[in-house]
Amino acid sequence: MTLRVVIAEDSYLVREGVVRLLGTVDDVEVVGACEDYDGLLAMVADLTPDIVLTDIRTPPTGTDEGIRAANARQESHPEVGVVVLSQFVEPGYALALLEHGSARRGYLLKERVSDVDQLVRAIHEVASGGSVIDPKVIEALVEARSRRRDSPLDELTPRERDVLGEMAQGRNNAGVAGALGLSERAVEKHINSVFSKLGLSVEPDVHRRVKAVLLFLSG
């Protein structure tokens, strides 16, 4: 199945670069590209893509258009996924993106655009209903939380921290197992231990797990 993508980016060079990059991927088709928020909403309405790939800051205000587009999409076209690109390792943006739901939403740093495999994996994960949060954002949240006195994160083993990071990127148990070279049974045990130590209920829905983890780390 070919995924249809619309791109919103106000920098002409970046926009054209992403269009050309995704043009090399067999199962991804860029069906439209624009430079601002209004143009993006119009394209989504006209083209109904599978995925919107948008800068977090576009005209007219250059503030949080990517997040606003995700919220607008959820109301008008809930089947369309949104991957927001940002140059900022800012957990607050990721949390704002997931505030009204985590399914079909992703937050990646712009530096990931040069890694076409990682970008395409994120597009596919979000298109399938999943959630993806950039690993550097997770690292920033873990580091901030770890600095607090008596943090429950201090109780996690190195392997449990690895599992937490993979889980927060939206991977299911099989995906975590593949990324870390573990069996699915071992991953399940680590996840149960992580949630127990963090005081979180074990959620069967992987998208809720992502949001639960982020909310805990930001709290």
Instruction: Give the residue, 31 or 164, on which the prediction is more confident.
Output: 31
Of the residues 133, 167, 194, the one at which a domain ends:
133
Q: What is the pLDDT of residue 22?
A: 94
Q: Is the pLDDT of residue 98 over 70?
A: yes
CATH number of 85's domain: 3.40.50.2300
DSSP string, 29-67: EEEEEESSHHHHHHHHHHH--SEEEEESS-TTTSSSHHH
Of the residues 116, 133, 150, the one at which a domain ends:
133
- 105 and 156 co-located in one domain: no
Q: What is the pLDDT of residue 154?
A: 78
Quick one: DSSP state of residue 113?
G
Q: Is the pLDDT of residue 218 over 70?
A: no
- Specify whether the backbone of 180 is left (phi greater than 0), alpha (psi in -120 to 50) or beta: alpha
**Domain span including residue 108:** 3-133
Is the distance from CB of 196 to CB of 178 less than 8 angstroms? no
Q: What is the pLDDT of residue 82?
A: 95
Over residues 44-94, the pLDDT tens digits come to: 999 999 999 999 999 999 888 999 988 888 888 999 999 999 988 877 788
Using DSSP's 3-state secondary structure scheme, residue 125 falls into helix
Instruction: Please give the C-alpha separations between residue 138 and each of 48, 94, 204, 214, in angstroms, as whole numbers.
Output: 31, 10, 21, 8
- 156 and 52 co-located in one domain: no
Over residues 146-199, the pLDDT tens digits come to: 676 677 777 889 999 888 888 777 678 898 999 999 999 999 999 888 888 877
Using DSSP's 3-state secondary structure scheme, residue 170 falls into coil
Q: What is the mean pLDDT of residues 120-134?
A: 90
- 33 and 126 co-located in one domain: yes
- 107 and 184 co-located in one domain: no
Q: Is the pLDDT of residue 207 over 60?
A: no
How confident is the prediction for the chain on average, in pLDDT? 86
